[in-house]
Amino acid sequence: MKAIVGNFGRILIGGATLAAILLVFVPPSMMSKDKGKETNVTLNKLTPDEEQVIKFKGTEMPFTGELYKNTAAGTYLCRQCDAPLYRSSDKFDSGCGWPSFDDEIDGAVKRTVDADGHRTEITCARCGGHLGHVFEGEGFTDKNVRHCVNSISMRFIPASQNVSTAKAYFAGGCFWGTEHLLQQAGGVISVQSGYMGGHTKNPTYREVCDGNTGHAETVEVVYDPSKTNYETLARLFFEIHDPTQYNRQGPDVGNQYRSAVFYVDDEQKQITEKLVGLLKDKGYKVVTEIAKADNFYPAEKYHQDYYESNGKEPYCHFYQKRF
């Protein structure tokens, strides 16, 4: 059996600001259990060696991974959930003994500082599987970043098989709650909080809160079109916030908290207009803005994965069936 190194060097052999919190109801179709995290991501069966690294944060022996020397064109996927993680064009040989990349697919990788405060762990943003660690300032490439990834944490798909992702942009009040609930949807690879729909370049949170930039607190959803579609995500968006509230969501008041869908193409626009029409036919006085997506500015780091990081639940977002 392959030898796996544990986090402590052991060799293991084996196969915006409100304190009130509301209880969030999520329909069973959105949920299953994965290490205590609620998600309906389908997980692949792992071998004991794969589990040791991906679930228990071990490290494979250097220079042993099947993907270490791989130079073919294609995409590297999470072995546990098949989420696209890295492109072959970003892979380089650092000589460290593990696959190295100087960039990731947008939103695919989550960074968390290790308990010792020294290294930064990288995990799959979709399923939480352990990938390895990220290092900066080493000078290997112009980007000056090295994702040191366990080969066993990934599988490789040649370019001919055409792995693709798609994006959607939704604004529905405080982006903490919108991000938190959309992350639980099947087929979603990642959700990032940010700002869209304004006129100021690179706005800060304080500038957006002052209400002078025109931006809405928006989330960027990266999803796998082979596992879900835009209409499914848009329907969910209209059911996790109140689209009848104008320039507010619950206790959060202001233009930055408006309900909005920023479409990336005509198909998304038509689907959104159809869903708004269905809601209006049901008697909902929908005020959701439908506008063309423009520049998306990621929010400050402390806003990302806010509820997951703080162990809380949204205070003004919850699931309510509307369709």
Q: How confident is the model at residue 40 (pLDDT cuts 50, 70, 90)?
A: low
- Asked about 316 being catalytic, the answer comes back as no
Q: Are 279 and 273 in contact (CB under 8 A)?
A: no
Radius of gyration of the chain from Cα atoms?
21
Q: How confident is the model at residue 36 (pLDDT cuts 50, 70, 90)?
A: very low
pTM for the full model?
0.66
Q: Are 319 and 239 in contact (CB under 8 A)?
A: yes
pLDDT at 8 over 70: no
Nearest one of 149, 150, 120 to 135, comparing CA atoms: 120
pLDDT at 27 over 90: no
Between CA 161 and CA 299 the distance in angstroms is 34
Query: H/E element holding 271?
Result: helix 266-281
Read off the pLDDT of each residue in 60-86 and give the average, rounded to a whole number. Answer: 94
- Asked about 174 being catalytic, the answer comes back as yes
Give the model's pLDDT for residue 224.
87
Between CA 94 and CA 120 the distance in angstroms is 18
151: burial class by Cβ within 10 Å (0-12, 13-18, 19+)? buried
Cβ contacts of residue 143 below 8 Å, gap of 6+?
102, 103
Between CA 62 and CA 51 the distance in angstroms is 17
pLDDT at 1 over 70: no
Give the model's pLDDT for residue 23.
33
Read off the pLDDT of each residue in 67-96 and give the average, rounded to a whole number. Answer: 95
Give the model's pLDDT for residue 164.
78
Give the model's pLDDT for residue 35.
40
pLDDT digits (tens, 9 = 90+) for 226-276: 889 999 999 999 999 999 999 999 999 999 999 999 999 999 999 999 999
Between CA 190 and CA 145 the distance in angstroms is 21
Coil vs helix vs strand at 171: strand
Domains and CATH numbers, the chain: 43-161 (2.170.150.20), 166-310 (3.30.1060.10)
Query: H/E element holding 233?
Result: helix 230-239
Q: How confident is the model at residue 306 (pLDDT cuts 50, 70, 90)?
A: confident
Give the model's pLDDT for residue 273.
98
Q: How confident is the model at residue 313 (pLDDT cuts 50, 70, 90)?
A: confident
Nearest one of 299, 291, 224 to 16, comparing CA atoms: 299
Question: Which residue out of 78, 124, 148, 316 is catalytically annotated?
Answer: 148
Question: Which residue out of 78, 174, 209, 316 is catalytically annotated?
Answer: 174
Coil vs helix vs strand at 145: strand
Between CA 315 and CA 39 the distance in angstroms is 20
Cβ contacts of residue 119 below 8 Å, gap of 6+?
113, 133, 135
- Percent of all residues in the chain with a pLDDT value above 70, rounded to a whole number: 87
Between CA 216 and CA 110 the distance in angstroms is 24
Cβ contacts of residue 1 below 8 Å, gap of 6+?
13, 14, 15, 48, 49
Between CA 68 and CA 245 the distance in angstroms is 52
pLDDT digits (tens, 9 = 90+) for 159-201: 887 667 899 999 999 999 999 999 889 888 889 999 999 999 9
pLDDT digits (tens, 9 = 90+) for 92-135: 999 999 999 999 998 899 999 988 888 999 999 989 999 999 99
Q: Are 70 and 63 in contact (CB under 8 A)?
A: no
Six-digit token pair at 187?
């087929």
